Structure 1
Amino acid sequence: MKPTIIHHIILFVAMACCLHHASAQVAQKIDLTGDGQLLGLGRQHIVESSILPEDRPVIISLPVGYNTTYARYPVLYVLDGLQNIKHTVGTVELLAEAGLIPPVIVVGIESLDRNRDLTPSNAGQEVHGGTGNAGIPQSGGAPEFLRFLSEELIPFVDANYRTHPFRILEGHSFGGLFGTYTLMESPGLFDAFIIEAPALWWNKEEMTAQAKIFFPSIENLNKTVYFGIGGGDGWGMRQELTRYVEVIKQHAPENFRWLHEEVGDEGHMASRLILNYRGLRFIFSDLSGREDLIDDFNAVAFLSTEEHLKNKYGEMARRPAEDYFNLVSELVNKDNDLGAITVLERASEAYPAYIGLLTHLAKLYEKTGQKEQAIDAYLLGVEVSKKYKQGQEEDLLLEVSRLRKTKE
């Protein structure tokens, strides 16, 4: 008998409830030191730099599951890393768990002299915050610091960790100034930038003057850049950033994805957490659902898109679980059970701890006459339930027993 709209509604509600239950957080253990302290932020390395020259401490935080896979991961390089490592790692792990970004390696670059390393030129007497006399005499070290990143730090990370080629540079204030400088000075080094409340007042807005030369001169720039600032930021930041992005509006190169936004009423320092979150969301926004996948579903095209995302961001990249769920629901409503099975097979691979995906995959297998596959899906659910102590083993084994009896 052909399913009615009531059957579809019941299935939709059941899937929603089951997905909500299945996607509840599964605690990941964090290693402890001998005296019981949590280790979750990463490991410090000392990189001996002959370019700067000095020893540079960096903190490298690996994504959950790094040691149980052979996957390669994109790398997020965070300036002022010691100040920003805690909130950045927490945000990255939350977003990756939700499938809104892929798992990434975070490299926090500790600042030893940010006035030197992050400024693109020497500041004279009129520098903001200076005394009116000598300015900041050590400023202007960004070219050498950029060489350190390109020739020493990035090769060090690539040599010691399983890195994917996709790289992001994130910086706030002077770090945002350095990110803007790097975008124009060495655009090939990073694939994406999170530029937060950049100090574009520097040396009478010289970065904006440089932008008026850089952007009109380049036809194609395949980069993604987030320009964010708190709505409560003050002098030297908001209007200067607006003037910079006005240049981009007038001369945006092809394939240049960018967003400028003022967020909330946060001031200069308080904005870092929310700008980090929104910047990551924007950079990886192509992981979220696409309407064309629903409107004109094609299994080959769907799987090809999934492979494209994994090639772009690493093999652990995945869509949010809700996106797979919504696509499955639409396909079931259109009586495209085989298409829904294709999506659920991919979703259960992407979210191996979600029993709800496996149980609905099993139901669709059974509905389409694939009883052996249904049994295998339920049995895999039993193993997942045991591993994560979800208490579903008995119910799942009852389904296996029922299906085996119908085969006899």
Structure 2
Amino acid sequence: MKNLYTLLLIIFSVCITNSQALYETIESKKLDGSRELKIQLPRNYDPESKRSYPLVIVLDGDYLFEPVAGNIDYQAYWEDIPDCIVVGVKQGNTREDDFYYDEDNFLPIAEGANFYEFLASELIPFIENNYSASNYRIIAGHDLGANFINYYLFKDKPIFRAFIALSPDLAPKMADRLKERLALIEQESFYYMATADADIRFLRNSIIECDAKLKLVENEKLQYKFDDFEDANHYSLVGRGIPKALNEIFALYKPINGKEYNEKIIPFEGSPFEYLTKKYEDIEYFYGFEKKLIENDIRAIASASNKKNDLESLENLAKLVKKEYPNSMLSAYYMGMFHEKEGNYKRALLRYKAGLLLEPSQYIDKEIMLDKMYDAQDALKN
């Protein structure tokens, strides 16, 4: 297990070297000093682009930044989750002060209150002023940091939409406060918490008790997920919890897979194209940014349109692909497919021929276009 965990860290470190990692220092009035940051920008990040990215704040960035940033870079590469801006806050010498709370009401005071305000009123504006961060924000913490992130839930309108609490060292009354607050959340929010069988015993016991309470929360705006890992301890659970949390947070964003195709698209009462439109509108509504149409989803909707013999849906899809990918073979391929489906093989042949001059895609290349062209030619002869 130790060797596996080391291997995962090496993989994530390699991922980070392929993305844009920066080290910055932010001056803080709240902290009466400066604080070092680790920042990972998406691959091919373009500051001139209008595109914005979810912002992920990582507490205890000294050691937690690399596992989070590596996971995000790896999964984003395969289009399972969106590209994100990841910011780690270094706290190696200040974490106990940063996470300090009152021993009577168990809320941040003194240095803890200052750090709370630093994140909300200085760090986030600093990132948004200098990088293309969207207003969909995630915060992740481990141990004391995982408890601290909960305080941001107690604002009337939380500044974070997703919370990743890895083996939290919960303050007294926190479980009851969480249960009460999560029941009242009015914006779509996600909360993830994890422990493990070999976690620190007193932490594990309080986390299990907290989970039992949070499972009782009934709020359609809240998505709550909990993991109790086997064969993991207080530290190794981090490497297993982060990808699970990211998968859950961005479940709606994920490419269409076989399960979604069979259980949602095929039984869908509307057309496959209407399903695609709704899926992408929901992504924009929930995450606050547009998702670019991906080839995996185009293939799935085209397949469903053909299976349902829905010519109108296939035509609408072909037009959308042409709009989104005007210089790609994709535009010619799916418009040709539509003309074939309607029986107009002459127009289909023209589309496929024109496609030979365009750029290949992930799945469509010149060989496939030639095969489609020959099929159309054979159909014209018969």
Alignment TM-score, normalising by the size of structure 1: 0.72
Gaps of 5+ in 1: 1-29, 32-36, 124-137
Contact 1:46 1:58 in 2 (8 A): yes
What letter is aligned with 1:242?
A: I
Query: Structure 1 residues 146, 326: closer, same or farther in 2, change over 3 A?
Result: same
What letter is aligned with 1:317?
A: K
Q: Which residue of 1 aligns with 2:282?
A: 308
Q: SS of the counterpart of 1:47?
A: strand
Q: Which residue of 1 aligns with 2:29?
A: 50
Q: Are 1:66 and 2:45 counterparts? A: yes
Q: SS of the counterpart of 1:42?
A: strand
Query: Structure 1 residues 376, 356: closer, same or farther in 2, change over 3 A?
Result: closer
* 1:294-305 alignment, distance < 5 Å: 294-295=266-267, 296-298=269-271, 299-300=273-274, 302-305=276-279
Q: Are 1:330 and 2:330 counterparts? A: no
Contact 1:382 1:392 in 2 (8 A): no
Gaps of 5+ in 2: 1-13
Q: Cα deviation per residue 1:92-130 (whole Å; 9 max; x = unaligned)?
A: 12222333222211111111411111243359xxxxxxx
Q: Are 1:236 and 2:202 counterparts? A: yes
Q: Are 1:144 and 2:119 counterparts? A: no
Residues in 1 aligned to 2:164 and 2:331: alpha-carbon distance in whole angstroms: 34
What letter is aligned with 1:61?
A: Q
Residues in 1 aligned to 2:374 and 2:191: alpha-carbon distance in whole angstroms: 54
Per-residue deviation, 1:275: 0.8
Per-residue deviation, 1:334: 1.8
Residues in 1 aligned to 2:355 and 2:197: alpha-carbon distance in whole angstroms: 49
Q: SS of the counterpart of 1:237?
A: helix
> Which protein, 1 or 2, shows the higher relative CO under an 8 Å CA cutoff with sep ≥ 6?
1
Residues in 2 aligned to 1:347 and 1:399: alpha-carbon distance in whole angstroms: 18
Per-residue deviation, 1:316: 5.1
Contact 2:352 2:372 in 1 (8 A): no
Residues in 2 aligned to 1:154 and 1:261: alpha-carbon distance in whole angstroms: 29
- Tell me the C-alpha RMSD between the 2 structures: 4.0
Q: Which residue of 2 aligns with 1:206?
A: 173
Contact 1:177 1:199 in 2 (8 A): yes
Q: SS of the counterpart of 2:233?
A: coil
Per-residue deviation, 1:238: 2.0
Residues in 1 aligned to 2:369 and 2:179: alpha-carbon distance in whole angstroms: 64
* 1:355-370 alignment, distance < 5 Å: 359=333, 362-368=336-342, 369=344
Residues in 2 aligned to 1:347 and 1:265: alpha-carbon distance in whole angstroms: 47
Q: Are 1:274 and 2:274 counterparts? A: no
What letter is aligned with 1:153?
A: L
Residues in 2 aligned to 1:383 and 1:329: alpha-carbon distance in whole angstroms: 23
Per-residue deviation, 1:262: 1.1
Q: Which residue of 2 aligns with 1:115?
A: 96
Per-residue deviation, 1:268: 0.8
Contact 2:20 2:42 in 1 (8 A): no
Q: Are 1:260 and 2:232 counterparts? A: no
Q: SS of the counterpart of 2:173?
A: helix
Contact 2:36 2:89 in 1 (8 A): yes
| Pairs aligned (count) | 353
Contact 2:190 2:249 in 1 (8 A): yes
Residues in 1 aligned to 2:359 and 2:333: alpha-carbon distance in whole angstroms: 11
Per-residue deviation, 1:157: 0.7
Q: Are 1:184 and 2:154 counterparts? A: yes
Residues in 2 aligned to 1:348 and 1:228: alpha-carbon distance in whole angstroms: 44
Q: Are 1:165 and 2:135 counterparts? A: yes
Q: Are 1:77 and 2:52 counterparts? A: no
Q: Are 1:105 and 2:71 counterparts? A: no
Residues in 2 aligned to 1:87 and 1:321: alpha-carbon distance in whole angstroms: 29
Residues in 2 aligned to 1:312 and 1:221: alpha-carbon distance in whole angstroms: 9
Per-residue deviation, 1:335: 1.5
Contact 1:196 1:228 in 2 (8 A): yes
Q: Cα deviation per residue 1:296-336 (whole Å; 9 max; x = unaligned)?
A: 23334531431331343354536886555444333322212
Residues in 1 aligned to 2:297 and 2:239: alpha-carbon distance in whole angstroms: 25
Residues in 1 aligned to 2:287 and 2:349: alpha-carbon distance in whole angstroms: 32
What letter is aligned with 1:266?
A: A
Contact 2:329 2:364 in 1 (8 A): no
Per-residue deviation, 1:270: 0.9
Q: Cα deviation per residue 1:116-156 (whole Å; 9 max; x = unaligned)?
A: 11243359xxxxxxxxxxxxxx9963322110011100001
Question: Which range moves more in the overlay, 167-176 or 247-256?
Answer: 247-256
Query: Structure 1 residues 372, 236: closer, same or farther in 2, change over 3 A?
Result: farther
Per-residue deviation, 1:206: 3.4
Q: SS of the counterpart of 1:103?
A: coil
Per-residue deviation, 1:183: 2.2
Q: SS of the counterpart of 2:228?
A: strand
Per-residue deviation, 1:192: 0.9
Per-residue deviation, 1:383: 4.4
Query: Structure 1 residues 353, 88: closer, same or farther in 2, change over 3 A?
Result: farther
Contact 1:78 1:108 in 2 (8 A): yes
What letter is aligned with 2:85?
A: I
Q: SS of the counterpart of 1:193?
A: strand
Residues in 1 aligned to 2:91 and 2:135: alpha-carbon distance in whole angstroms: 25
What letter is aligned with 1:309?
A: I
Query: Structure 1 residues 166, 353: closer, same or farther in 2, change over 3 A?
Result: farther
Contact 2:265 2:304 in 1 (8 A): no
What letter is aligned with 2:244?
A: R
Q: Are 1:286 and 2:252 counterparts? A: yes
What letter is aligned with 1:57?
A: E
Residues in 2 aligned to 1:114 and 1:378: alpha-carbon distance in whole angstroms: 63
Alignment TM-score, normalising by the size of structure 2: 0.76
